[in-house]
Amino acid sequence: MTRCDLSLGFVGLGALGLPMAINLQRAGFGLKVHTRSRRAETNPELEGATQCSSPADASTGVDVLLLCVSDDAAVEQVLFGPDGATSQLGAGSVVLDCSTIAPATAQRCAERLAHQSIHYLDAPVTGGTEGAQRGSLTVLVGGAHELLERVRPILEVIGGSIHHFGGVGRGQQVKAVNQVLVAGSYAAVAEAVALGQRLELPMPQVIDALKNGAAGSWALEHRSTAMLEQTYPLGFRLSLHRKDLGIALDAAKAVQLDLPITTLVEQLELDLINNGHGDEDVSALHRWNQTEQES
C-alpha cells in the first residue's frame, strides 16, 4: 500500500505520540486522533486531523490504528475497554502498537484481536522526543512480516530505521534490552558528571573532549548538559522508564538471569519517584548524585 491508500487512527498524544502524529499529518495521511486528556488533539500542527472523543471513534473506518500509550493497562483499556477500539475496528485492519509493554501482554492482545480478524504488530520505539520530532525513531517490530510491509509507509514517516525481530512480543523483548542499556548509560553519565563537578573540572569542556571517544553515548551527548544545569526537560519520563525496567527485570527473571546494575538503577529511580521526581526526564538520575553530595 501507498500512503494515500491508508487511513489512520492514532491514540495517545504524549511526549512521543504527539510529534509522531504531527509527522504523519504532515506526510498527508488521513488521520483521526484521540488522547485521554483531549488537550493535545487541538495542537495547531494537527490541523486537518479529525479530533475523536474515544478510541472507538478514532478507530471507525481506519485501516491502521496506532497506539502510543503509557503502559499495559492503558493498551488493554484502549483496545478492549468501554468505547474501546475493537468495537469499531474492521476485519483485516491492523493495530500498530508503539507503546512499551510486557511481551506477554502484546501476545495476549494479538490473540484477542485475532478472534475478530484484526491484526497486531508490537512496534515500540526508541530515540526520545528528539527522534520523534525529527521522524528518526528506531522502530522495533514483532509480528508477521507481511503486516510490517503493509504498514511500512507509516513507519518510514515516524522512524529513521525499522527492524523486524520475529513474532509478536519480540519487539517488546528488544525494547527491554534497550531500556537496560539506557539505564546503565544514564546512571553512568550522572555519576561521571557528579565526579567531575566534585573535582571542580570544567565539565562542558570535559564532555566535549569525551563524547566522541570510547565513553561516548547518546545519554552523554544529549543529556549531560541538562545534568550540569540541574534542569531536566522532558524527553522520556522517569516513571515510565522505571516501568520499563520492571518489564526487563521480569524478562530476566523468567530466564534465570540476574541484572544487578539494572536492579540498582531501578531502586535509584524508585527513590526519586518517591521524592516527587517521577514526571521529570530520566536524566533526573543526576538528582540522586546531587543529594548524596549535599548530604
CA–CA distances in Å: residue 253 to residues 178, 260, 268, 270, 282: 17, 12, 20, 19, 24
CB 242 within 8 A of CB 273: yes
| Nearest Cα residue to 16 out of 124, 92, 117 | 124
The answer to whether 175 is a known catalytic residue is yes
Tens digits of residue pLDDT in 93-112: 999 999 999 999 999 999 99
Residues shown for the chain: 295
Q: What was the pLDDT predicted at 233?
A: 86
Q: What was the pLDDT predicted at 290?
A: 74
Q: What was the pLDDT predicted at 147?
A: 97
Displacement of CA 199 from its chain's centroid (Å): 36
Tens digits of residue pLDDT in 241-251: 999 999 999 99
Q: What is the mean pLDDT of the chain?
A: 95
Taking residues 246-257, what's their average pLDDT? 97
Task: Say how many C-beta atoms besides its own lie within 10 A of residue 115's C-beta.
Answer: 8
pTM for the structure as a whole:
0.94
Lowest mean pLDDT among 2-6, 185-189, 209-213, 283-287: 2-6
Beta strands 137-141 and 94-97, pairing class: unpaired
Taking residues 239-262, what's their average pLDDT? 97
Active-site entry in 175, 211, 243, 253: 175
Helix, strand, or coil (residue 193):
helix
Tens digits of residue pLDDT in 13-58: 999 999 999 999 999 999 999 999 999 999 999 999 999 999 999 9
Q: 136-172 burial, b if ≥16 CB within 10 A, otherwise e?
A: ebbbbbbbbeebbebbebbbebbbeebebeeebbbbb
Q: What was the pLDDT predicted at 5?
A: 78
Say whether pLDDT at 293 is over 50. no
Say whether pLDDT at 66 is over 70. yes
Say whether pLDDT at 8 is over 50. yes
Taking residues 138-148, what's their average pLDDT? 98
Quick one: DSSP state of residue 89?
Answer: P
Q: What was the pLDDT predicted at 295?
A: 43
Q: What was the pLDDT predicted at 3?
A: 59
Quick one: DSSP state of residue 237?
Answer: B
Provide the grid cell at 172. 517488546
Q: What was the pLDDT predicted at 140?
A: 98
| Nearest Cα residue to 244 out of 81, 105, 84, 135 | 105
Structural domains of the chain, with CATH: 3-166 (3.40.50.720), 172-294 (1.10.1040.10)
Q: Is the dihedral of CA 19, 80, 1, 4 positive or negative?
A: negative
Tens digits of residue pLDDT in 269-280: 999 999 999 999
